[in-house]
Structure 1
């Protein structure tokens, strides 16, 4: 009888210790869903520093904007790095995701690309402009044309919040084609469709383009669309995520980004 009791106590102790071991392992591992470049490459650079801090950083590369938040919401990953705050707001509104920002990392400037024109001023009337089907970036697309005086939006509407419906003046009757995902825009550009294609630098870089050289217009350093590290709500202050954002915002990381991407990717400055 005593042996049976001792055996059961030992078995329970082993079970508890094993469970604690697994829990500790989970606390020391961070799985992040990220776009390939520069997001995934930046995280790859962060691996060694995170290892020095005692954390195993695993990167899950995803090339579709609709997937990373879904993975995070389901608990398939611990965090993601691919989006800016306006996009996250739109995703939360549409899907009810309980996701929050840990911190800003860098900006991938959006650029205007064309095989037919060298500037925006001389666009023909009724020019077709290809953009992504991401409603959170409509104001971002419009900002290029507002700046050139080709379009006006409703008074009082911030450009980052603007929608196509907010256009009150469109001098050249420009047409925005937003029927495809952002990942397909490089192919559209290469095929020569439309007058212009507007796309994020990460997709341009992935497809062999150099944004500051190949874009006829590109966002400046003051863009409000910095990409963020995001986690489930209630966890942004968790020690492991605070360690990760510290590494991602470090001087070493800024130097890496500047060396690898130049002005094509702009590190976040506090």
Structure 2
């Protein structure tokens, strides 16, 4: 799971275009839980060092890199490097990783079944619809024996790359922030940890399957 370490990201030009009076102010875009919470926790310590940390809370994965690229914020904290690389490739953002912070696993949750073995024939699983995170969900389901992906699949894999699906599972590609809300309507959902925590889910207690350290 080392490649999914969340990172603090800056624009290439950080520090060069800030006004003199703003040089000790750092505005960081972050998803609410736990990233924004972590930043708010360290804000007083940074204040003691002469830095004013302002946290801009966002729920949509598509916003922070665009805001950083357009210099609306100085940094962001919400993503792993494969996601950042895909966004750079797709949108041409001039941003780069500054620091690796912590691990957040992808996990499978359900309100209807107690084990993935109980998935019904023709059941439905919701997965993230953003690049790399959909791959993470599918790779986890492959590891659990639910599906098989085509050989040589890349981090941009989607449900179209599934070559074996014995239970004829239907896959619903959903915006990651909306995944917890789908749990009442689907048999299971693959949810990134930050959105799981926001919904009151505990990855270590509630997950039917979770990414391992070597994934």
TM-score by length of 2: 0.84
Q: Which string of whole-angstrom CA distances, capped at 9 and with x for unpartnered residues, describes residues 110-140 of structure 1? A: 2111111111123222211112221321210
Q: Which string of whole-angstrom CA distances, capped at 9 and with x for unpartnered residues, describes residues 42-77 of structure 1? A: 111221232233221111111111111111111110
Partner of 1:162: 157
Partner of 2:97: 101
Q: Contact 2:128/2:137 (CA < 8 Å) preserved in 1?
A: no
More helix by share: 1
> In structure 1, what is the Cα distance between the partners aligned to 2:24 and 2:70?
20
Q: Name which of 210, 231, 241 aligns with 2:202.
A: 210
Task: Figure out how many residues of one structure are paired with residues of the other and give that number.
Answer: 198
1:224-235 aligned at under 5 Å gives the runs none
Structure 1: state its 5+ residue gaps.
Answer: 1-21, 224-270
> In structure 2, what is the Cα distance between the partners aligned to 1:86 and 1:215?
23
1:92 correspondence with 2:88: yes
> In structure 1, what is the Cα distance between the partners aligned to 2:90 and 2:156?
16
Structure 2: state its 5+ residue gaps.
Answer: 1-17
More strand by share: 2
Higher CA-based Rg: 1
Partner of 1:257: none
Change (3 A) 1:64 1:161: closer
Shift of 1:88: 1.2
TM superposition outliers: structure 1 runs of 4+ over 3 Å: 160-163
TM-score by length of 1: 0.68
